Structure formats: C-alpha cells, structure tokens
Chain A
Amino acid sequence: MRIKNELAKIVGKDYVSESMEDRVKYSRDESLLPPGIPDAVVWPGSAEEVSKVVVWCNEKDIPVVPVSSKVHFYGCTIPKQGGIVVDLGRMNKILEIDTENRLARFEAGVTWEQLVEELEKKGLRPILPLLPPGNRSVLTDTLEREVSTNIVYDYGEPMQSAEVVWPTGEIFRCGSASVNGFPDSKSRGANPSGPGLDFYRFLQQAQGTMGIVTWISIKAENIPKIDKIFFAPVEDLAYAQDFLYRILPRRIGQECLLLNNVDFAAILSAKGFGDFDVLRAKLPPWTLILTISGLIRRPEEKIAYEEKFLNQVLTHEFQKMALTDNLPGFPGLGRLLMPMLRRPWPSNLPYWKSTVKGGFQNLFFITKPNQTPMFMEIMEMVASRYGYPIADIGSYIQPIEHNRACQVEFTFFYDPDDDVEKAFIGDLYIDAAKALMNEGAFFTRPYGKLASIIYDRAANYTMTLKRLKKVFDPKNIMNPGNLCF
C-alpha cells in the first residue's frame, strides 16, 4: 500500500496498481523463463513521470522494469528481482511525421500497426522485420535491432535520435535532438550520434538495463509505386547463397529472405492459405523470396533494369535457380505475400508462430551467408542427438545489407501446457546455441539463459560493460538480472 501511495503521487492513482491480477500479468511472457513477480505496476504518461518514478526507485534501491510492448518472447521484461514495472503503453503518440526529411518520431508505446497505418497516409513506410506482431512496440524492436527484411539500404540502421531517462532519473536526448529546446529548433533530430559520446549505442540491445527510452525517431522510406515478388524453390542452400552473393551487392531487390518449409507453412496456414501439415509437406525445403520495386519516379524503368539484370544472371550463371513470379503449385502466393511483407502481423490474428503448437522458442544469430549450410548441419546433428525431428524446426535466413552478413533464426515449436516438452526444448535450445557458438555463430542479443553462456565467452567485453553500467546505474536498479548485470 505504501508503494502504491507514493507512486500515485507521481502518476495519479488510476495509473498504479498493486493488485495480484496485474502483477501476475507482468510476471510471465511467451518465453521459457520462469515467472518473477513485480511489487507494483505503473503506467506513466510522460517522460517527466517516468523520471520521477525512476528517481524514487533509485532512492529506495528498488528495481525498475521498463515495458513497452504488449507481447514478449524473450523474457527480458520478467521482473527477475521484483520491483516496479514501468509500462509505457500509455505513451503511444506519434509525435511527428516529417515528410520532407522522411523521419518519424514516436513514443515507446507506439505499435507497428499504428505506425505503419499513420505513415501510409503520408505515402511513407518503415522498413520492417519479418511479420512482427502488430501490437509490439516499434521502439523496442528498433532498439533491440530486429533485423529488417529490406536489404538494399546501405545505411541499414533506421534509428535516428532518442530521448532517454537515465537510471538516475535525468532526462536526456541523444544525437541531434540534444539541442536546447528540441523540437522547437533548427535541428530536426536526424542524427543519432553524440553529443560527446555515442550514448545511443549504449541503449541498443540493452534490454532496458541502461535507461528508459521514451521516444525515438526513425527514417521512413517512400512507398514504392510498383512491386514485384519472385519465388524460387531451393534444395541446395549453398547454391542459393551464391546467387545472393551475385545479385544483392549489385543493389537488386527490396525485401529478400529465405524460409524453410516449416516457417513458410506456418505463415501461410496462419493466414488461412491452407493446412500447416499439407503445406509443410508440399513446400520445397527452402523458398527464396525476393521483391523488386519501382520507386516514386519512373517506376517501370527501375523494375525493367532490375529484371533485365536478374534475367541475365539467371540465364548465364544460375540456370538451376528457378526464380519466377509464383512458386509452382501455389497459385496466388505472390498476391498474398507481397502486401504482407510491408505490414506487421495483424494483432487480431494469433501470431503466426503461435499457431503451430502454441509455444515457440527462437534461436538466432549473425553469421556469414556461406556458413549457413554448415549451421544447418550442426542444428541437424544437435536435434538428432535429442531425437527431435529436424522436419519440425522452423528456419529463416535473413540476408543483411547486400548479403555481407545474415541472420539465421531457428524456431522450436512446443505445447505450452506440456511441461516435459518445455523442459526438453529448453535443454535443446541451450545445447544447440553452444554447438552453434562453438563454430562461430555470433549471438548479438543475449537473452535469458543464453546471457551467461555468451558473456562467459567474452570476458573483456563483459568487464567493460559492467564498468560502463556502473557509471550510468550505480545501484543496478534498471532491469537487473538481465545480460551480465
């Protein structure tokens, strides 16, 4: 009651709760991690309120767990040491869309659905990860550096400037938004870097441990005038990668990805395109999906030169790559998938990964494309050691920036009510991660149980992170129990 009263003075009594129902709601997520119960939940309405809550927690040495999304897959918002959940869901305003500078600035609670819809009205779009849940926070996905399906922009990272409440409560703006009086300023906030240090870097992939980010701005792109989608069935992954090494550095394509039959069947069946098992059996082992787009000027000409280049490469160098505008045996697939790639997964439908068995566990890492066949073999070996059918594992390869690297994501599907299966998947996940790491897979986002394994292998990085963390969060109140903190 005491906590509630104190916090009510800051956010108002309607926006704080100590009820068991609310606390339980925030104690678990879609991951395999055990629940952890917070002492209270607050829903602040502004950065100033967030700041006051943080200052109060700092004085009392109480952990703070920032939450922005409505759905969580990795356990980082589970309170590991109790404390106050700060849910930024009420801070869901799109603060500005600057069409001249193609920039959008929005608060932490803004979802993919909201942002895509509002940008669309102005002829703009964000670059998107693959079918992110529509009610997930764009801000957290961007900070966590969810990899985009778009491969053509050299500048990759969409994030521009940001506002953060440091763990000691100071409100701070990163990058060019740091100017006095922003946004009433000549600076528009188009540069994330500085002032003095690249503070924004410390906030990336930090899982809320370095501060509470209240808004960010991102680059928005024009919506193309014409899009074309191509598919190729792939049996030989190495051959497909060679093809991508050939075309992507030549700046062909907008979205480009490789899905195995399990993931692709899950997406299509969840959209009502057929039965999961039937699709899985019928789809090729891998499908390459490639889009090309005609932009705002001379769209046909742009499509024409990209197609011409593609045709030359296919005819003279990659005759075995059957890249066409439809996947044989799946009429209407292009029409279905093209708009899907530019939108989040609708929040009124069950998330596509949940439709297979209910629960799922993602395992993803960064590597070089030519190493992906080797990592597939490693996964097969580990799965077979566990007697887990490889045919049940979802696999997704996301080329990054002209194919200079890629993200590989494996998904293990499970029944969330089956504790034995959950424990089994938990073990398989860890063993697979270790085996992949041993061969050079680079895990950039250390979630849950992976964190200690990853940081054990990166001694000097871990030490330096801890020293930095001490500067910003001397009492370690920000989301403790995550990463190496």
Chain B
Amino acid sequence: MSIQKQAYNALEAVVGSKYISDDPVICEGYRSGPGGYESGLGYERVMTKIPGAVIMPKTTEEVQQIVKICNRYKVPYVPYATGFYGPRSHCHVENELLIDLKRMNQFEIDEKHFYIVVGPGVIYSPIQQEAFNKGAYVVIGGGGAQASAIANLIGDGWSPLSHRIGLPHRRILGTELVLPDGELVKMGSLAHGDDPFWGEGPGPDLRGLLRGFTGLRGCLGIVTKMAIKTLPFQPEPLIPTGISPNTALALPQKRVKWVNYQMPSKAAQVKAMFEIGKAEIAGAVTKVPLFWRAIAKAECKEEFWEIWGKENEDTIKNFFIVRVLLIGYTSEEQMEYDENVLNDIMKELGGIPRPTKPSDESWLKNADSAGMWLMCGSYVSVDYIIESLSQATVHGEYYAELKRKYTPPLMPDYGDPGWFQSFELGHQGYSEFLVYWDQDEDTTGVDHFYLETSKMNIRERFYTSLLGPHQPLFLTGPKYGPNYHEWLLKVKNEFDPLWVCHPPVPLAHDDFVNRAEWMKPLKDWESPEKLPMPEWK
C-alpha cells in the first residue's frame, strides 16, 4: 500500500520531506467520500482506492519533475485540487500517487483587461471577492466557491450567470499544462511570453486538449496555471449580511435584483426564456429544481421532508417559475430598461411577479452546495448539458419519466423536469437533472439508472454531458461523432503512452461495468474483450 521506495525517494528530493507522505493516516484522509457526490455508489466502491502516497508541489517545475519521475518508475498518479468532485477525483488503482495541488494557490488580477491568473490550488471564493472589488465577476458553479477554479473550468463551469457566457471554455485564457509525460505546454499568449491575457494559438488551438464538453477528470495532464476571463459587473458594493449559516449578500436594488415570476404554463415559461434572450437583457434566467425551494426554506432535514412531503404530482405539474437576475451593468437607467422589457414580456405571457428577497443567497458569491446532501445524504447530477433552449426545455421530462422506474431508491420529486436555463442570451440552453438517494440503502437501482440515462440520450438523440470518462466510453463512443472514443484514445495514447495519468480514466466506467456483477445485465453494447489499456494491479 505504498509506492516504490526508489520513486518515493526521488519524489521526496523534489518537494522535501515535509510535502510528501505515505503515512496511512494521511493517505486515509484522501479516501473518496463521504462528501456526498456519487457517494456510496458502485463506482465509488469498486473503483476508488486510498493513495499509496500524497505529494504537494508548489511550482510548475516541481509538478513536471514529479510527473517525469512517475513516468520513469511507472507510478500511476492523479491530480487533485479539492477533491470535491467525488470518486472520479480520487485514486483508482493501488499504489497510486495523489498530487495535491493546494499549495499552488497564488492569484493575480488584471483589472483593466478582465482576467485573473490563478494556480490550481486557488478556489473561487477569494477571486470572486477580488473581482467584485474591481468591478468584475466570475461564474461560480453550484458546487460552491470552495472548489478549485481551474478544476472547475476544465471540467464544469456553469451557473445561472452563464446567461452571458455559456461555455466556460471561452473563459479559459493563457494556460499552462504539464502533459502526462511531464512535457510542459504553454497555450495562447503564454506560448510566447509571460502575459496570459489571450487564450488561443498560435495556430490550431491546443485548449482542445483541456477538456471536452465536460472534463477529462485529470487523465490528460495537469493544469498548473490559467488566466480566467472575468465579466464586467456593476460598480456598487454587495454587502454581506446575516449570521452563518444564514448569510447573504444585500443587493443594491437599483443595480442588482432577483425577480421571480410565476408563469401560467410550461409553454409560457419556455417562451419567456426565448424572449428574454432575444431581447438581450438580464444577467441570469433560470428555472431551478423545485425541491430547492424546500431546501432553501428548511432549517434541517426533518423540516425539508415536512415541506417537500406536502407536494405531489399535481402541485409540481402546475408550478412554473422563471427566476431572473437583473444587473445594471451600464447604469441605473439600463437596469430600468431591462426591467421594462422584462415586464413587457411577462405581461404578454401572463407571468405574475412573486415576492423576491432583496439579497443573493447563492449564485453571486457562495453558490453554496452544502445543503445539497441535506435530504438523503448522497447526490449526483446525471446530466448538466449546454445545447439549445429547444433541447434544454424538454430534456428533463425524459429524465423524469425514466426516473419513475428507479424511485425508490431515488428520492421522489414528483415528476419535476429538473433545472433549465438560458445561456449566451438564449443562443444556448442548459439542462441539469439531479438525483438523490440514501447511501446506506441498496444503490443498485441508482447505478442502473445512471447508465440507463446514457442509453436514453442515445436513443432520443439528446446531447449529454456524460460522455468521455463519465459513462462507458465504448457505449457512448460509437454514437457520438461518431466514434469520438477512437480519437480520444489515440490522443491519450500519444500523450500518455504508459497510461500513468489517472488510470484507468477515460476507460474507468467501462472497467467498472466489467467488474461489477450487478452491472452486467445492462451491458448490451460492443466492447473489446480486454480494454485497450495497460493493466494496473
């Protein structure tokens, strides 16, 4: 349960004995779960391991040296930011080195040119505050402001605030990547100099290696530095109020304001999103899962169930909300203009304004996900995909239908089609479907549901976020692109011929299905008898 002595010694020489350890107590601290995300699922039980050693580099050079040593001694490794993403961020094979990047926590802001340069240990919370201080903002995912900004931007990177920039990829500027074999590549303006203000080039854009729609989950190198584009905000301060855990930001109402509208029908709800996009107003336009309203109201788990338990298929079916964030980017007059346009749209569609707090509890600063596990203990999003509003606004209904068969063990949500919202001023739409369960119960149904969603998306011809390492590659591969898996594997083999970088990702979910007896009945797709990768014992 530790890595080879020779390799360990070489690694220790790089960072010093203070920043490497194979002490079982330390390593135990890096066990997957019980954070909540995918907690207790088959994937976690079958695929995750405790690291053989943990190392904490401080600089890009150290990361490069570590990776080169891993290649020399064939030590598998996984990059690790905060580990909040759950089982997929943790070691998957025995005697693996976990590279904890939290010491690389420097950041610098260029206020005039709207970017922040960060290391992989930098989390969102401080950079959002600094951005606010300088008249800008970043988009913090629902996972929370305690997640690593880099890990988020190479894997996820959306929230209702993506109404202005949907694709997080567009916010990745000059970036430094240590390839799986230890070679360094500097992208965008970093390719030529020290200033990372520009993202692409020279020539073909190697940022394509950083992620697909969702992340590669650390299997194609380690990002050691990134400039993140920020968005211009409005100038008034947002004042923190309340006592923990009930904190919020008081909003300057003439410049920032959430407004909720109750719509008469799904058609009106969807039309409102299209119209707001076409009118090019607002900073966020969203319809969140309905049980979030119960989470927001509840002070504890029992209270949540009390509130949520009062709902039923009918109450959910007839409740249509559109939540809009207005921002006076230019001036108070612009905010009034946006509000007038919004009122026109809502009047046309029969939207009724509902009382809304003059504060922000989540998306601007904290995007606080701590309460997400509250109800059952475990949670996963089985999709979080950007497509058109046309896809986004029907996608969840298919999930809700499929989910019936698996409820329980999944938490009931009475057919709610989940979360959808407008991105890129309505040029894109986003849909996310969240499911909850109790990890102490039999989770076979959850494992099955997770996989069945992939087949549903293929059958119904939906685009989905769970491609690449998130589902069996040989299931999704032939059906998207087609055959994107072949290219992905060729790229992996070129840059990581030994497969030392987070093995067996991106074939980890294939491996899981092969290894978990209870998954076998679901396997109706072709795949090679032996997965095309080296075996790690």
Contact = CB atoms under 8 A, between A and B. Distances in A.
Nearest to A302: B337
Q: Which of A200, A442, A446 has the most CB of B within 10 A?
A: A442
A295 B280 contact: yes
Contacts of A252: 330
A328 interface: no
B201 interface: yes
A334 B356 CA distance: 45
Contacts of A185: 461-462
A447 B344 CA distance: 50
B387 A188 contact: yes
B460 A296 contact: no
Determine chain B's interface SS by DSSP, over half rule.
mixed
Contact of B203 (A156, A189, A483): A483
Q: Which of A195, A210, A465 has the most CB of B within 10 A?
A: A195
Interface stretch (B96-104, B107-115, B284-292, B313-321): B107-115
B184 A460 contact: yes
A157 B169 CA distance: 11
Given A170-B483, A179-B462, A308-B331, A192 B426 contact: no
Interface stretch (B20-28, B409-417, B474-482, B529-537): B474-482
B400 interface: no
Nearest to A145: B200
Q: Which of A103, A178, A467 has the most CB of B within 10 A?
A: A178
B201 A468 contact: no
A443 interface: yes
A275 B331 CA distance: 43
Contacts of B481: 172-174, 178, 195-196
Given A155-B166, A181-B461, A298 B208 contact: no
A330 interface: no
A403 to B, nearest CB: 8
A210 B390 contact: no
B197 A405 contact: yes
Contacts, number: 319
A205 interface: yes
B155 interface: no
Q: Which of B179, B208, B429 has the most CB of A within 10 A?
A: B208
Contact of B484 (A154, A178, A457): A178
A442 B390 contact: no
A402 B165 CA distance: 13
Interface in B194-242: 195, 197-198, 200-214, 216, 229, 231-232
Nearest to B234: A250
Contacts of A205: 200-205
Interface in B381-395: 385-391, 394-395
B137 to A, nearest CB: 11
Contacts of A229: none
A304 B388 contact: no
Interface size, B (range): 35 or more
B192 A458 contact: yes
B528 interface: no
Interface stretch (B10-18, B245-253, B487-495): B487-495
Interface in B145-203: 164-167, 169-170, 179, 183-189, 191-193, 195, 197-198, 200-203
B18 to A, nearest CB: 30
A412 to B, nearest CB: 22
Contacts of A173: 481
B191 A172 contact: no
Interface in A137-189: 145, 153-157, 160, 166, 170, 172-176, 178-182, 184-189
B260 interface: no
A404 interface: yes
Given A219-B427, A305-B337, A405 B461 contact: no
Interface string B483-527: 111011011001100000000001000000000000000000000
Contacts of B135: 249
Contacts of A484: 203
Interface in B365-391: 385-391
B359 interface: no
Contacts of B428: 190-191
A297 interface: yes
Contacts of A372: none
A404 B229 contact: yes
A451 B205 CA distance: 15
A296 B279 contact: yes
Contacts of A278: none
B458 interface: yes
A235 interface: no
A34 interface: no
A115 B355 CA distance: 45
Contact of B204 (A181, A203, A463): A203
A195 B480 contact: yes
Contacts of A27: none
Contacts of B426: 101-102
A284 to B, nearest CB: 26
A309 B335 CA distance: 13
B467 interface: yes
A111 interface: no
Contacts of B229: 404
B364 interface: no
B425 interface: yes
A172 B486 CA distance: 12
B387 A195 contact: no
A309 B331 contact: yes
6 residue pairs, one from A and one from B, having the closest CB atoms? A201-B208, A185-B461, A194-B213, A444-B201, A176-B463, A305-B333
Given A180-B480, A308-B331, 9 more contacts: A153-B425, A155-B425, A179-B461, A190-B391, A202-B204, A309-B334, A402-B114, A468-B206, A470-B494
15 contacts: A153-B425, A173-B481, A184-B461, A186-B395, A194-B484, A196-B488, A196-B506, A199-B208, A201-B207, A249-B135, A368-B195, A404-B229, A437-B192, A458-B202, A468-B209
